Structure 1
């Protein structure tokens, strides 16, 4: 099949959606399919700035959220115009966000929508749109319309499947997130000393690694809040973040307030290939996600990468994370926003390294069995074949809310 993966976001970019697309592309190509990617990055830089970014930035100064809607709608328009020109080259489009869904459907293409999260709620959670605003309601309606118009929906966990059922009364197929199990695996070939030197991490310090975008739903503030208690028993511990986002300023404030600057590294955006090096030196990986404005973590790719890399994981007991981990068997789950509980879990793993090794070994086995990119690609392939076979090109009605971004 000729398959197009489409998104209004940059590609590649920081975050799980981009990683998902990369791994899906790899798995599908290994199965003999031709796979292309269409994203906002596919268009000339000047065009992207003039058509979407600059007007959106100005409009946001006037009213929060209005510029975000304009920006996203213009990105959708760019995708639609391109899809009109290439629609006969592809058997199916796998759209990775609601605007890409609307663009593909309007272009008359067989469309599979992969739903990675709670689109409208996440826009509120990250501060792009004000809660209970006209803009928030508008995005909720666009989200519902996208789910209704797509030929087939794929949810990355059962919580999102239930969400789609509630929002649009449609049954989605569940294909849980996945990783390249050959790429993310326990490695003895990495020189730990060199990696620590590159990232300025002391040679023998235990490393608490947070491979997360610095956004509210990822609970990234809580490792900083828990660290002082950890340092009292393990005073050489280092907390390392790889990611950027709107929570960075708050994290920096809390670090300074607690006087723990020497124990925290904020690395910013780290290339995906280098993430493997950081997993290789991590003592514990923290994925402390929380409930935020109705948003729950999906099946976190960061958590899967840590599991594949043979590192014990402590995760928030929310959303899809509860579907990944069996508490005390292949990971540790902590309550939402529980600083003391997070600190206690960290201390248990630092005090008893053999316990962490047992968790990590069980987690690696689970990833190999349930979250391989090859197995996921095979499942997506079946969805694509059915979509291409039963596609109806007459679903998009002129004047609908998704039409031309209006």
Structure 2
């Protein structure tokens, strides 16, 4: 079976998007499928039309944007359509598999219909909602409504829709798409790639000013929807009852300066360590410093609908975690069994849940084991990617593939 994946961007760029993609492709290879991979112009400037990265071969799309305002997306889709048609004629796939955003789906739909190749569209998030959080779009504004309209247009015309979680599936079905045309391929992790949490590096802990402290931690990108402002707001209440507790924030992003200013304003700057971005091969050392990971996402469409990867990675390592009860977290975390949930957007509830969790030390080993077991039994890439097989095999009979003509 030949699958041509159409991607926004890929490794060597690092993001949750590229990590999910690489995991899917490697698991499909293990199933014996032949995969091909084309990235859109959003990969950025490229030096060659093709590139090998970590054992995966990528076709790239060269693109020089025009100068007329407002035409960037149309030019991007035009370049991707031309490149996709050329690659499809070369590799003759059985299925075109376009991944979010809709800027990839529309070219795939056009090329698929032109060449008689069935099209799968994988929705990883509604990018109009992410744009609202990033401040590049206004909820229900013109750009928001246009993007949402294009998504619905594609849903009605592709041969099958896949998505990453139940929240997104429900939203897609609510737009009039038949339930049997939408399949959840959930986020997962390679459990074997994560070792159970090790002992903290005493030298690193002292270097960061965390010696003799219990550590609340977050490791990831500092976006507004992650709710790290709530963690800082809750901290004075936590500190009043647990003065040995500190916060470790590892990473960076658009909210970094604002969070640092908030810590200074709250008078907690000395108890909050901003470690910055660290090399990928050093991340484990920082995880090992954390006693309790905190994921305080705000409640909004994006977080209610979409499941994140970070809690799964934490559970795979046998970590303890506290998270807001947004829909994306509720699909992953069983309160009191694999972690603890608190009412979203309530810093007082966050503080109380953290304090209660820290007081439940006799239960910690059972919760760690339950989280790891959940990942091993329900959220491995082998289990998730196997769900594609029935979709692909059914679609191979829908239309005659290009290479059979």
Q: TM over 0.5: same fold?
A: yes
State which drifts further: 355-364 or 259-268: 259-268
Q: 2:84 maps to what in 1?
A: 83
> Which structure 1 residue ranges, 4+ long, deviate > 6 Å from structure 2?
45-50
Query: 1:193: which partner in 2?
Result: 202
Q: Distance in 2 between matches of 1:17 and 1:369?
A: 23
Q: Specify which structure has the bigger relative contact order, considering alpha-carbon pairs within 8 angstroms and separated by 6 or more residues.
A: 1
TM-aligned CA distance change 1:371 to 1:358, over 3 Å: same
Partner of 2:192: 182
Q: List alignment gaps of at least 5 residues for structure 1.
A: 60-65, 395-406
The structure carrying a bigger helix percent of its residues is 1
Alignment check: 8 A CA contact 1:201 1:238 kept: no
Q: Does 1:353 align with 2:361?
A: yes
Q: Which moved more, 1:28-37 or 1:315-324?
A: 28-37
The residue number in structure 2 matching 1:229 is 237
Larger radius of gyration between Structure 1 and Structure 2: 2
Contact in 1 for aligned 2:232/2:263 (Cα 8 Å): yes
Rounded to whole Å, the distance in 1 between the matches of 2:183 and 2:84 is 25
**Unaligned runs of at least 5 residues, structure 2:** 49-59
SS in 2 for 1:320: helix
Q: In the TM superposition, what is the alpha-carbon distance from 1:294 to its structure 2 partner?
A: 6.2
Report if aligned partners of 1:80, 1:107 keep a CA contact under 8 Å in 2.
yes
Structure with greater strand percent: 2
Cross-structure match for 1:214: 222
Given the two structures, how large is their TM-score scaled by the length of structure 1? 0.83
CA displacement, residues 44-86 of structure 1 (integer Å, 9 cap, x when unaligned): 279999735x969xx5xxxxxx5xxx54444433332221111
Output one character per residue of 1:6-25: Cα deviation in whole Å (capped at 9) or x when no partner.
32245454543222112212
> Taking structure 1 as reference, are residues 387 and 313 closer, same or farther at Cα in structure 2, changes over 3 Å only?
farther
Q: 1:11 to 1:144 in 2, by over 3 A?
A: farther
Deviates more, 1:176-185 or 1:243-252: 243-252
Q: 2:128 matched to 1:120?
A: yes
Q: Quote the residue 2:56 is aligned against.
A: none
Alignment partner of 1:328 out of 336, 352, 366: 336
Count of matched residue pairs: 380
Q: Tell which deviates more after alignment, 377-386 or 70-79.
A: 70-79
Aligned partners of 1:380, 1:313: CA distance in 2, in Å?
31
- How far did residue 150 of structure 1 move? 2.2
**Counterpart Cα distance in 2 of 1:313 and 1:392:** 49
Residues 15 and 213, structure 1, Cα contact 8 Å, conserved in 2: no
**What does residue 110 of structure 2 align with?**
106
Does residue 145 of structure 2 align to residue 137 of structure 1?
yes
C-alpha displacement at 1:105, in angstroms? 1.5
Summarize deviations over 1:62-118 as a string: whole Å, max 9, x none.
Answer: xxxx5xxx5444443333222111114133233221211112111214322221223
> CA RMSD of the aligned region, Å?
3.0
